[in-house]
Structures are given as structure tokens and as C-alpha cells.
A and B are shown apart, each in its own frame.
Chain A
Amino acid sequence: MADLQTYGQDSGLKHTLLRGLLYLVLILFSIYYLFPLFVMITTSLKSLTEIREGSLISLPRVVTFDAWNYAWNEACVGVECSGIKTFFWNSVQMAIPAVLISTILGALNGYALTKFRFKGANIVFAMLLFGCFVPFQVVLLPMSVTLGKLGIANSTMGLVLVHVVYGLCFTTLFFRNYYVSIPDELVKAATIDGAGFFTIFWRIILPISGPIIVVSIIWQFTQIWNDFLFGASFSSGGSAPMTVALNNIVNTTTGVKQYNVDMASALLTGLPTLLVYVLAGKYFVRGLTAGSVKG
């Protein structure tokens, strides 16, 4: 009995030590990853004079939102000095339709590939999968020719098309893998009940696709909102998305370097994706692992 008790104490101590070590590592990594964010936030809340005097990591003496205001309303993008706000709306107008269209099409593709297995479905899927590995740079030239022929070059609509086409491979992959785990009998039952292809999709398949829709939306929104290359290549001037505008603000060579405005602009640019993660993040992990475990 006594032996057992010492044994118990021993392992308890070991357990606590290991726990402590685990948390130490986690905390160190958190600091490592959060530190740049900390610097960005504090810098954006300082005035330019304070930045010049003070050290990089100190907290602001006087908290001011001037830089945020300036970045939103007055910062110069190229020759236009009306802030980043017009470009923010450009990005919204590009990202929301592109995310929704690519998600809906991906869902339809996944549904057709798994539940209405047509001849050559596997080849179509393999080719779509191949599309996931095509680098951005490869499609630049063909895409610009296509956009020119369609007459939607340099427009938000053109960017929507580019992102839908490029994102379709990923959304199809997501939905296809999710729908594979949904029993075919569900579709058979609905077929006998008299429902057709689209009725089954709207009434039965889509309502149970919640987790994977969230995954697709987060993934696509992050990709499209953060994209720089397509934005820089297929838009110009006033129709550029926010990422391109941010680059133009930060890389402006004239005048004084306004670190606080740069930081505020960068934070404003990153905020929407952050928001999407915070609102829907818990479904993200759930959706990514859905179907991997039977039950």
C-alpha cells in the first residue's frame, strides 16, 4: 500500500512537470507568433513623432486613432489621396460574389461527382484535382487574354471570374470529400420520393452541408481577400483590390515614411479575414475533419 502511494506521488510530480513544460512551450510560441501583431497594433496607435523617438516595442504614451482615420480616408494610393476605403469596397465587391459563386459551384460539382456518378466522373475529378496544383503564375497570361476577349479586363467582374475559376478546384475537392461520406441511400430515397437532381440538392444535400460550407467560405475568403498577384495583374487604378492598394501606400516613395499609417492600413486589410475566422473558426476545424471518422 505504501509502495503504491509513493508511486502515485512520483507520477503526479512527473505529470505536473510535463504539463508545465508543455505550457511553457505553448506560451513561447504564442509570444513568437503574436509579437508582430503587437508591434503593428501599438505602432498604429502612436503618433509619428512618438514613433521616431520611442523604441519599437514600447506601448504608446498617448493612444491616438489618427493614423487609422488617415489610412481609411486620406492616405495616397498612387496619385489618388482618398484613403484605402474605396479599395476596401473593391475587395468586398470582388470577394463576396467570388466566394459565394465558387462555393455553390463547388457544392454542385461535389454533389454530381459523388451522388450522380456519370461516365468519366473519376477523370473529371482527377483533372479538377490537378487544378489545385497549378501555380498562380502559370495562368496569368492565358487568363489575361481570356479576360480581354470577354471584355472584362481591369474590372471587378474580371477578378471575380478569375477567383471563381481558380478556386473551383479547391471547393470541389472539399465538397466532394464531404459528400463521399453521405450515404447514397439518402439520394436513392429522395429519388423514389420523386425529387429530381436540383430538388435533392437544395432540399436535402445543401441543408446538411453546413460544416463544409463554412470551410469553403473561410478558405475561399482568405485566398481571395489576401490575393495580391491576380489583383495586381488583372486590375488597375481605381478597380484594384485592397491588397494592391496597401502595397501602393506602403511603397510610396514620396514624402515621410508614415509607419503608423502603414500599420493601420495593413491591419485594416487583414481585419476581414480575422473576423471570418473568429466568427466561424470553430466550424472550420470541425468541417476539415468531418467524415474522416465514421460515426
Chain B
Amino acid sequence: MASLTLDKVRKTFGSVEVLKEINLAIEDGEFLVLVGPSGCGKSTLLNLIAGLETSSDGEIRIGDRVINNVHPKDRNIAMVFQSYALYPNMTVRKNITFGLEIRGVSASERDKAVDDVARLLQIENLLDRKPSQLSGGQRQRVAMGRALVRNPDIFLFDEPLSNLDAKLRVDMRTEIKKLHHRLGSTIVYVTHDQIEAMTLASRIAVMKGGILQQFDTPQHIYEKPNNMFVAGFIGSPSMNFIEAKLVDDNGKIAVTFDNNGQKVVLPLLENSPESYKSWVGKDVVFGIRPEGLTHKRTGSDKPGSQYVNFDAKVEVIEPTGADTMTVINLGGKEIVARVRPDRATNPGEMMTFSADMNQISLFDPTTELRI
């Protein structure tokens, strides 16, 4: 159990800079998820923490110990790999105890440790099998057992669920979360799946192109994304972006955009940030998540409501059961609204939508940063 600090960590391969000044710090017992599209450097970052690759610059600390030049085996970390990386020639028991054996732990202690871990992961009946005789989910458990048995300071997970089928993935996700609650261990977890990131993390680090885009709690990242990339990457279906303009509407700041020849004017709420004022008269990108754009809410006509109504033609509907995703066309862009199934209309009909002005984000169209 320990905290982890990355201080201005950089990594270059030849002339290619794959990680640019990464600063991260998590407390003991936190669950950090590194998320981003493939090639964003998240796996490289994990390998740096593991010591499988060396950083070009900066400092990595576990607790107070600088580990840049410490061999992986002396960092007191354990890692679970995407392909599980179980030793094919060894039984499950041998796989789990291999690390202990190398470290010179006595046979009786090893037996006790493997029994404890097997009970925790419910793999007692698999201990004498070879990895080839196990299903994907079972292999996953063994790989976790191999990490758990060492009782490390930090657990590293490299996309551990991406080889499992959808149902099993959700189950294992819950199991990992439970395990984290029970053990209270520090975990660094790499994934490209934003749902995994949201559900597991105590803090998420969103990465793209070797740059840390945002590092915050899941809820904060979801509600207040730093930039358009984070806004679009986190959340499914992803946030709608509408090219709009900030205007002064009778003393109130409002967002306005074109709706097939008609102008839609959405006045911002009174508690909007001061910084918006300097953007009046300029182009902005108006971001709103599908759940912020719904069927007409009751009370949305009252003055002072957080909802603003406008009409639009429905193009396509995609029922998901719980909600019906309604696609409308605003200013040449497809926009998704999340509508209660009983309020959904048929494609081609006009419908009144409510925009929840509490759930909006405004971005600078050139820098793509949050205003």
C-alpha cells in the first residue's frame, strides 16, 4: 500500500516523444484509471511505472522512494496483463507461486498464500490445472491471483478485461471493484473503455497523443470536461457539439445557433461563469450531453426554469429500452437527444425538446478548450 507520484515524466523513442511531461499523484488506496484512444501513451506510462521501460526524464515515486532506477522486481508492484501472460508450462498453483519461489519464500508459506488467494478469487478447484485448460474468465482470475499473492504496494492492470466477452467483462469489472474495496490497495488501471474508467476509478487520467488531457474524479470529468476531446471521449453516446455564438439577449447572455433557417436562442442561467461575458459576440462550440437534451419537461415554460424549449424535426429514433435516442439535425450536424420512450415521436415529425442549461459546456472553437 503506497501513494504514487509522477513528476514531469517524459518518454521518447528516438525523436518521437510519446509522453510529454506527465504529472500525476494519487494517494494510498486510490484507483487511478489511465484512459485514452490507442496510441495515446497510456500503456507506455504503465510500463514506466512497472519499470519495464525507463523514462527519459522526470521522477517516479512510490511512497517517498524514487524508483526510476529500481529494477521491476524490487519496486514491489504486481501487474496483470491483457493477454494474462500465464506461464503455459506451469499449473495454476505454480503460476501463482512462481514469484514467491523466485523470492525465496518457503514452501509452507507459499502454500498458505496460494490457498488464501485461491479462496478469495474462488479458484480453489482450478489449482492443479494448466492455463490451457481454463476459460478466459478463469485465466483472468489466475492472472489476478498471481498479482494478489505478492501483496504489492501497487497493482498495475493493463487492459485486463479487453479479451473477455461483453457479459463476463461487466461481471469481472464488478469483481475488481469489490476486490479494491476489500483490499484497499492502490491500483493503476489502463483501459480504452471509458465506461470501465467511469465505473472503476476514484480518479481518471484522460490521455491523448502523449499529453495528459485531464486528471480528476470521474464525475467532475464527466460534468466539466477540460476540452472537446475529453468531452467527446467520456460518455456514451458522446456529447453533442453545436457551432454557436454567444449573444446579448436583452441583458442576458444566450447561446444562439441555426436550426434549419430558424434561430434558436438559449439564454444561459444566472449562475454562469463570469468568463462567458468576454465571449459575447464570438463564435463558440456549444456542448450538451444527450441526457441534457430531452422531451419537453414539465415546468419548462415557467420563468427562471433551467430548461429552455425549442422545436426540431426528428430524423431517426434509436430505442434502447430505457430511453429512446432521438437524432435531430441542427445546423447540418446530427444531434442526439435522450427522450423517454413514451414521449418519443416518429421520424419526420416535429417535436419540442428541452435543453437543460445546467448541463452545458462551452468550448473555444480554435483551441477546443473549455471556456
Contact = CB atoms under 8 A, between A and B. Distances in A.
Interface in B84-113: 85, 87-89, 98-99, 102-103
Contacts of A203: 87, 98
A286 interface: no
Interface string A210-234: 0000000000000000000000000
Contacts of A112: none
B99 A194 contact: yes
B81 A207 contact: no
Contacts of A193: 73, 98-99, 102, 146
A27 B73 CA distance: 60
Contacts of B102: 193-195, 199
Interface in A131-188: 183, 185-186, 188
A41 interface: no
A208 B52 contact: no
Size band of the A side of the interface?
Answer: 10 to 19
B136 to A, nearest CB: 14
Contacts of A204: 87, 89
B77 A192 contact: yes
Nearest to A209: B89
Nearest to A187: B85
Size band of the B side of the interface?
Answer: 20 to 34
A191 B52 contact: yes
A57 interface: no
Contacts of B85: 183, 185-186, 188-189
B300 interface: no
B83 interface: yes
Contact of B72 (A183, A186, A191): A191
A207 to B, nearest CB: 4
B81 A185 contact: yes
B98 A190 contact: yes
B81 A188 contact: yes
B77 A208 contact: no
* Highest count of chain B CB atoms <10 Å: which of A188, A192, A199: A192
Contacts of A194: 73, 99, 102-103
Contacts of B89: 204, 207-208
B348 to A, nearest CB: 48
A208 B103 contact: no
Contacts of A195: 73, 98, 102
A40 B100 CA distance: 60
Contacts of B77: 192
B78 interface: yes
B50 interface: yes
B73 A191 contact: yes
Given A207-B89, A208-B88, A192 B79 contact: yes
B103 A188 contact: no
B359 interface: no
B82 interface: yes
Nearest to B77: A192
Interface string A71-110: 0000000000000000000000000000000000000000
Contacts of B88: 208
B79 A188 contact: yes
Contacts of A186: 85, 87
B291 to A, nearest CB: 39
B88 to A, nearest CB: 5
Contacts of B98: 190, 193, 195, 203
Contacts of A183: 83, 85
Contacts of A208: 88-89
Contact of A185 (B72, B82, B103): B82
Contact of B79 (A189, A199, A207): A189
A194 B78 CA distance: 10
Contacts of A192: 50-52, 72-73, 77-79, 99
* Highest count of chain B CB atoms <10 Å: which of A185, A189, A199: A189
Contacts of B103: 194
B186 to A, nearest CB: 16
7 contacts: A186-B87, A188-B79, A192-B52, A192-B79, A195-B98, A204-B89, A208-B88
Given A185-B85, A192-B78, A193-B102, 4 more contacts: A183-B83, A188-B50, A189-B87, A204-B89
Interface of B: 50-52, 72-73, 77-79, 81-83, 85, 87-89, 98-99, 102-103, 146
Shortest Cβ-Cβ A-B pairs, 8 listed: A193-B99, A194-B73, A207-B89, A185-B85, A189-B85, A194-B102, A185-B81, A192-B72
